Structure 1
Amino acid sequence: MRPVLFAFSALLLAPAAAAQTQPAAPASQPAQADPAFTARLGELLGILNGTGDYASFFAPGFRANVPKDKFDATTARLIASNGKPSAILGVAQATPWQGVVRVQFASGVALMQLTIDPAAPHQVAGLVVRGFESAEKTLPEVERALAALHGDTGYAIARLGTGTPQLIAGRNADKPYAIGSAFKLVILAELVRATNAGERKWDDLVTLDGSPLPSGGYMRQPKGTQVSLRELATQMISISDNSATDVLLKTLGRQKVEAMMPVLGIADPARNRPFLSTLDMFKLKGVPGLADKYLALDEAGRRALLDGEVAGLPLILIDQTSFQKKIPNRIDTLEWFESPNDLVRVMDWLRRNTDGPTGADARAVLSKNAGLGPDARGKWQWVGYKGGSEPGVMNMTYLLQARNGDWYAVTGSWNDLQRDVEQGRFAGLMGKAAELSAPPAP
């Protein structure tokens, strides 16, 4: 949950329609890079380090979607979290014009999908961070690295079956952590319950009523716009769209979502009541004095404050600089809280309640963004994912089906009350944990 959308699988985005029309090479004939791709690849480190020529490197479509100031801010965040990029380690070529590049940063390896326009002057039409790799080679090494991170970390790796999830490995697995946008899994679970019960259908339409919304694709849509529950859920989970989240929460009902928490097995649901929307959170953290007022109240008083004063506050009163400073803001008292074992149980509930043909819609939503690099993704038959972050907070949670049909959940949280966390490093470690948790292929 960040005011500026953070999606692990897409830190840098731009249209790449021209390159997308190029067919992939047959599996028996690995693609060879076009010389133009190789030339642009040679410029990539300079672009990432801020010494390259942005205007000549990127195609007009990229520059329109990601202006230079936005691009510079994104690369600055990457470098702040992972150190400077220093080398190109290799490329997995998909077509002559597109490949996944392994870029060495100080604290890990980023997997960047680079797409070149086939038409001269062969500028870059797309650059997407698909994941991070860590240097650790074994699960104990990953566990030690997680324990050594500054602040506080907790994780759980569990096998899922017919009974209670069986913990394979964990640290602070029953300790609640701030989890950022991973709270959206609870909203998805209520939608699954409602559609399974026949109360709603995935194609039911929601009419936007013009209420203020946080950042996301529906923030500026006109009143009267109609959108399906399927689309809202897909955007909420796959790209963590905050506006879609708040529309869905309002449509399903705050109290209905709250009622799902004990059903899912969340050990301390009272800590997340009232169940805050993303805009509630932005207002409480971004309007001076409002958080203190809210936290001093009991649950009934907090509900009244949300429905009254908080709902009526215009967005212009939110102090955006309080979020841009990247300083943790009350993450121990004003956030969404679940333990690693809570999140294992949430994913297990989603697994059990989306089995069979009726669960295809929910599983399509949950699996649209795998949150893993290609090597880790390739270890599993199916991957569902949701993560979340804000300054000082990061969570990554996976539901995984092995190639032998067995099911697993892997989740980890990192909180630091004093400073921001290194997202790339944590993503690399969690991706490696997911990769190493896969049982041998049959």
Structure 2
Amino acid sequence: MKKWILLLSLAALQGSPAYAQTPAKTEATPAKPMDMRIEQLPSVLAGTLPYDMFFAPSFLAAVPVAQLKLVSDQFIAEHGKPLKIISVEPQGQNSATVKIEYEKAIATAQISVEPAAPHKVVGLLITGFDVKGDSPAKIDAAFAALPGKAGYLVEKIGADGRRTQIAGRATGQQFAIASTFKLYVLAELASQVQAGRRSWSDVVPILANSHSSSATVNWPRNTPVTLQTLATWMISASDNASTDALMRVLGRDAVERKLATIGHSDPDKALPMLNTVEAFALKSNADLRTRFQKANEAEQRNILDKEATSLSFEKVDLVNLGSGPVAIDSIEWFASPSDIANLLGNIRQTGSQTALDVMAVNKGVAPASANKWQYLGYKGGSEPGVISMSFLAQSKAGNWYVITGSWNDTTKEVQNEAFAALMARLLDSVAS
């Protein structure tokens, strides 16, 4: 869950007829129901107006009061108290887009009310925050203040393909990047298609299960799907079974050669490239994990080969993973911000529109940030103690950028929502 999105009953936000801006009220003109609810919104978000006086029962049935309070409190902790409504853009008789001033930021929200009395709110979507007076220096200070280690890089890509650093911190340091590694798989797939060895429409079976496979959960083995479908699930939903299916079809060795061709500042750290089941199995099997951690690359490859049965989906015991970071400095996928920038640049240089389209399915940030760009491609990854977010973006002026960041903490879980908000600020800082 990303706390910058509060989503409730979107059906009420669609299909309303357009109408002209409501004239300014006079003392003799009673407030319209929509105006009244908009005026009450800051008080609701501040927790001073009871939720049941503002939201319709259907809304509260979908999103419990406890969840509303949790999200509102998170907004206040990060952005200060909500102060007032500063603009209203009607979207229909019963809907509007509004901007809410907080102490430290401006929130954009969509609100919808019941057409009949008592005209309570049936839809609310807070799409993002713009931090007041934000600057590259403030963003860098926020990265520096994160516990554990964190790094980021913003580069502008010139017409000749050369990249120029705009901002960065720890750009050459290796970080665990979790599912962001799947961009290497996408890059190799795009290259094999470009070379004529494969087609996006090739049909292959999903032969094995994996954990965290939301797109293919409980699917029967041998289900035939296209390579483009697998790639879309792998990138947009971070589906692990799709990732492992693609690695099997493309070949681990081919994906690793792609990493070498693109360039990696510490290949000993990055190789061998695990599939997702192997990573889960190694983390959940203490004996195998210890052997793998002590082994050199050749010995690690031998373990992957000889212990294939022990490294299968059926052998993974998630109970052994516990609730905090597990071996994130040794059983993971690793890259520096500069390595990821090279990777994103390579994907763009392949000229594969399909690969770009796949990356743009899930924007990774709230619409308020995503809509500032002509094109926004994204891949992120996380596990306890790890979060990584990377973007390939084209501004509305036509300029291309790479924006990537990672945060690791071996001692405790990182705050994914706070990092997502920080990366959104980084995106906003160069959007034009």
C-alpha spacing 1:134/1:193, structure 2 compared with 1 (3 Å): same
SS at match of 1:401: strand
Q: Pairwise mapping of residues 124-139 of structure 1 onto structure 2 (< 5 A)?
A: 130-131=127-128, 133-135=130-132, 137-139=134-136
SS at match of 1:364: helix
CA shift, 1:37, in A, is 7.5
C-alpha spacing 1:99/1:438, structure 2 compared with 1 (3 Å): same
Question: Would you say 1:318 and 2:315 are equivalent positions?
Answer: no
Distance 1:142 1:133 in 2: 13
Cross-structure match for 2:26: none
CA shift, 1:185, in A, is 1.0
Question: Would you say 1:396 and 2:393 are equivalent positions?
Answer: no
Question: Would you say 1:262 and 2:255 are equivalent positions?
Answer: no
**Counterpart selection for 2:356 from 351, 357, 363:** 363
Render the CA deviation track for 1:163-197: whole Å, top value 9, x for unaligned. Answer: 54221221111111111221111111111111111
Distance 1:285 1:268 in 2: 22
Cross-structure match for 1:198: 196
SS at match of 1:221: coil
SS at match of 1:206: strand
Distance 1:314 1:74 in 2: 38
Question: Would you say 1:183 and 2:176 are equivalent positions?
Answer: no
**Counterpart selection for 1:154 from 143, 151, 155:** 151
SS at match of 1:266: coil
Cross-structure match for 1:353: 350
Q: Pairwise mapping of residues 411-426 of structure 1 onto structure 2 (< 5 A)?
A: 411-426=404-419
Q: Pairwise mapping of residues 330-341 of structure 1 onto structure 2 (< 5 A)?
A: 330-341=327-338
Distance 1:50 1:255 in 2: 59
Cross-structure match for 1:300: 298
Render the CA deviation track for 1:228-249: whole Å, top value 9, x for unaligned. Answer: 2222222222232233222222
* Contact 1:19-1:118 at 8 Å conserved across structures: no
Cross-structure match for 1:278: 276
Render the CA deviation track for 1:224-281: whole Å, top value 9, x for unaligned. Answer: 3222222222222223223322222222222211111122222223322221222222
SS at match of 1:310: coil
TM-score, with length taken from structure 1: 0.77
Render the CA deviation track for 1:316-337: whole Å, top value 9, x for unaligned. Answer: 6221761xx3x22222222211
CA shift, 1:139, in A, is 1.5
CA shift, 1:136, in A, is 5.2
SS at match of 1:311: coil
Cross-structure match for 1:3: none
Q: Pairwise mapping of residues 6-155 of structure 1 onto structure 2 (< 5 A)?
A: 16=10, 18-19=11-12, 21-22=14-15, 25=18, 34=34, 45=45, 56-58=57-59, 83=77, 87=82, 94=91, 130-131=127-128, 133-135=130-132, 137-155=134-152
Question: Would you say 1:231 and 2:222 are equivalent positions?
Answer: no
* Contact 1:165-1:345 at 8 Å conserved across structures: no
C-alpha spacing 1:81/1:39, structure 2 compared with 1 (3 Å): closer
CA shift, 1:46, in A, is 9.2
SS at match of 1:230: helix
Quick one: which amino acid aligns to residue 196 of structure 1?
A: Q
SS at match of 1:173: coil
TM-score, with length taken from structure 2: 0.78
C-alpha spacing 1:55/1:258, structure 2 compared with 1 (3 Å): farther
SS at match of 2:328: coil
Cross-structure match for 2:28: none
Cross-structure match for 1:372: 365
Cross-structure match for 1:252: 250
* Larger radius of gyration between Structure 1 and Structure 2: 2
Greater relative contact order (Cα < 8 A, sep 6+): 1
Distance 1:116 1:305 in 2: 60
Distance 1:416 1:297 in 2: 24
Quick one: which amino acid aligns to residue 430 of structure 1?
A: M
Cross-structure match for 2:206: 208
Quick one: which amino acid aligns to residue 153 of structure 1?
A: A
C-alpha spacing 1:432/1:320, structure 2 compared with 1 (3 Å): same
State how many pairs are aligned.
Answer: 414
More off after superposition, 284-293 vs 340-349: 284-293
CA shift, 1:154, in A, is 1.1
* Contact 2:135-2:429 at 8 Å conserved across structures: yes
Quick one: which amino acid aligns to residue 385 of structure 2?
A: G
Cross-structure match for 2:425: 432
CA shift, 1:58, in A, is 3.7
Distance 1:436 1:328 in 2: 31
Render the CA deviation track for 1:335-367: whole Å, top value 9, x for unaligned. Answer: 21111111111111111112xxxx221111111
* Contact 1:86-1:103 at 8 Å conserved across structures: no
C-alpha spacing 1:432/1:265, structure 2 compared with 1 (3 Å): same
C-alpha spacing 1:304/1:22, structure 2 compared with 1 (3 Å): farther
Quick one: which amino acid aligns to residue 163 of structure 2?
A: P
Distance 1:297 1:77 in 2: 45
**Counterpart selection for 1:171 from 169, 191, 195:** 169
CA shift, 1:374, in A, is 3.8
SS at match of 1:158: strand
Could you tell me which runs of 5 or more consecutive residues in structure 2 were left unpaired when the two chains were aligned: 23-31
SS at match of 2:364: coil
CA shift, 1:429, in A, is 2.1
Quick one: which amino acid aligns to residue 399 of structure 2?
A: D
C-alpha spacing 1:131/1:269, structure 2 compared with 1 (3 Å): farther
* Contact 2:82-2:103 at 8 Å conserved across structures: no
Cross-structure match for 2:374: 381
C-alpha spacing 1:431/1:313, structure 2 compared with 1 (3 Å): closer
Could you tell me which runs of 5 or more consecutive residues in structure 1 were left unpaired when the two chains were aligned: 1-5
